[in-house]
């Protein structure tokens, strides 16, 4: 299929465009604008949802290793709930907490498989990092001990550079493959493998737009951290909603044939 061909509309009234549109660089900031609009439609509910998410992450991280692993596996399931909330807001509905559990009620296994694939690929990534950088240094890197990392860098700066390059080179494709997968599974009912493949090509097919998007969101993140990090209560919802806007712009058309406004740059 070409980028202009579509499949049948999903239960959410969206037709899937495969393999996805290639958008101009200006689409990146447009996604952020759309994300902000979705945030302003239910500011209080967004803040409540993000606080709940932070509490969940904190609670799961208390169980070192296992908790973090479990969250990474469940992340696509949780993300799918936010996708459904965004869709409901987009069509004039309310943001309800029950939307956040949509991924647990629908396509749970497929979403879980996306999470498992992400974790499995991450393990391969860490092994590759360890082979280049050293497994002792890998433990330091995972633990996030700044002093030990600095010491390791001082001992072998070349090895650190090579390790970071390997990590980045392997992480980008992994992130790209899972970025839109939850939305494609829960909204368009794609299988996990097909969703990850479409997500991969959708991201890299819009590399310039994503680069500009990332730069703007990075600047906004710095601003959000200034007031004791309280700005994260806004930044996180905009991040989530703008990701949804990117998915809409790249992969979907309304049942009536309308193209999302965030498609244009």
Q: Residues 9-30: pLDDT tens digits?
A: 567 889 999 889 999 999 999 9
**Dihedral pair phi/psi, residue 135, rounded to 5°:** -70, -30
- pLDDT band of residue 265 (cuts 50, 70, 90) is very low
User: Are the C-beta atoms of residues 238 and 86 closer than 8 Å to each other?
Assistant: no
User: Are the C-beta atoms of residues 188 and 10 closer than 8 Å to each other?
Assistant: yes
37, pLDDT greater than 70:
yes
Q: Residues 87-130: pLDDT tens digits?
A: 999 999 999 999 999 999 999 999 999 999 999 988 887 777 66
pTM confidence score? 0.85
pLDDT (average), residues 214-235: 93
Report the half-sphere exposure of 191 (CA within 13 A, side-chain side).
2
């Amino acid at each position: 299929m070409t980028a202009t061909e579509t499949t049948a509309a999903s239960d959410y009234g969206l037709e899937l465009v495969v393999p996805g549109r290639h958008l101009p660089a200006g689409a990146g900031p447009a996604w952020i604008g759309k994300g902000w609009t979705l945030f302003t439609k239910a500011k209080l509910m967004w803040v409540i949802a993000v606080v709940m998410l932070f509490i969940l992450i904190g609670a799961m991280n208390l169980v070192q290793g296992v908790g973090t692993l479990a969250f990474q596996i469940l992340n696509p399931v949780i993300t799918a709930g936010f996708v459904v909330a965004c869709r409901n807001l987009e069509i004039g509905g309310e943001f309800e907490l029950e939307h956040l559990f949509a991924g647990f009620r629908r396509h749970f296994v497929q979403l879980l498989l996306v999470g498992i694939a992400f974790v499995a690929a991450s393990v391969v990534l860490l092994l590759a990092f360890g082979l280049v950088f050293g497994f002792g240094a890998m433990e330091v890197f995972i633990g996030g001990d700044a002093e030990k990392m600095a010491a390791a860098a001082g001992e072998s700066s070349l090895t650190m550079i090579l390790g970071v390059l390997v990590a980045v080179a392997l992480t980008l494709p992994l992130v790209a493959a899972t970025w839109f997968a939850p939305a494609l599974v829960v909204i368009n009912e794609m299988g996990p493998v097909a969703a990850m493949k479409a997500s991969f090509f959708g991201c890299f097919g819009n590399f310039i737009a994503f680069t500009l998007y990332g730069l703007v969101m990075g600047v906004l993140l710095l601003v959000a951290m200034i007031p004791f990090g309280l700005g994260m209560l806004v930044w996180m919802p905009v991040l989530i909603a703008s990701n949804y806007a990117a998915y809409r712009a790249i992969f979907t058309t309304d049942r009536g044939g309308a193209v999302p406004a965030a498609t244009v740059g």
